[in-house]
Amino acid sequence: MKILLGWYLFICFFMCSFSAIAVNEQSPVKVQAKQAFRNAVDSNSVEVINTFIKEYKYTGWELKAVYYRDKAALDAAKRSATVESLNVFLKSYPHSDWYNQGVYYRDKSAYGVAKMLNTLPGYDEFLKKYPSSRWNKNVVALRKKLLTKKPKKHSLPLTPQQRTINALNIYAEIEAKKKKKEKIKAKQEKKKLAKKRQCYKLKDKLRRYSERKIWYNLDEKGERAYLTQEDVVKAKKRASLKYQEKCLT
């Protein structure tokens, strides 16, 4: 009897505990926190997600929100596409899961600036600031290329007549290229128009075959060769294939 009573009490205790957990999981606070989390993440806004983290602390959702907050911050820094904005991200979130990606885009942006300037001081500054960057090999190669580049020879100043001749030559070259483009364009338009006319004729021929308005073809001697129904079907098939080949491709 005592054993049965013990089992009965154990089962009651287990069921009550399970019910309490289920109620707790579906509690209004949990549901509200989950919905607020989704809204905050969908906003992709650092400010909105930070507000969520502050208001829903200790709900369990704030830890997931930190991940998406850091992602939103990196996205914002990437949109700015400046070394400064990406450095602000790295300084603000040193323990972020997105930290390494931040380093990648920061170095890429700095490499772009150095490459655009294309100067020895610019390349040297990059190598000094980012010694472990994946872009170092590119910078070293560009620096070497710049060092081996032959300096331009300084020529004597041009006279006004020479400058005028050079300007006229440049203008003539531009005009020649322009005329060449116009000629190519006109040729393409002419070809396009000829194709369109041919397609119209083929389409009309198909229609006439369908309506049985073509009763004969001319043979090699120019004599009329009257068409049977079988001839019309074959001729229509050939014309249809030709139309598809020339007009629908």
CB < 8 Å & 24+ apart, contacts of 23-32: 29/59, 30/59
On the question of pLDDT at 238 being above 90, the answer is no
How many Cβ atoms are within 10 Å of 107's Cβ, its own excluded?
A: 21
On the question of pLDDT at 133 being above 90, the answer is yes
Comparing 167 with 29, the larger pLDDT belongs to 167
| pLDDT, position 21 | 41
Q: What is the mean pLDDT of the chain?
A: 80
| pLDDT, position 201 | 85
On the question of pLDDT at 215 being above 90, the answer is no
For residue range 140-192, what is the model confidence (pLDDT) as tens digits? 999 999 888 766 665 567 777 777 787 777 878 888 888 898 899 889 888 88
| pLDDT, position 128 | 94
Give pTM, 2 decimals: 0.49
The letter for the amino acid at 171 is Y
Q: Where are the chain's structural domains?
A: 22-148, 187-249
For residue range 87-116, what is the model confidence (pLDDT) as tens digits? 999 999 999 999 999 999 999 999 988 888
| pLDDT, position 9 | 47
Mean of the pLDDT values across residues 53-76?
A: 86
On the question of pLDDT at 137 being above 90, the answer is yes
On the question of pLDDT at 42 being above 70, the answer is yes
Q: Which residues contact 206 (CB under 8 A, 6 or more apart)?
A: 236, 239, 240, 243
The whole-angstrom separation of Cα 97 and Cα 95 is 7
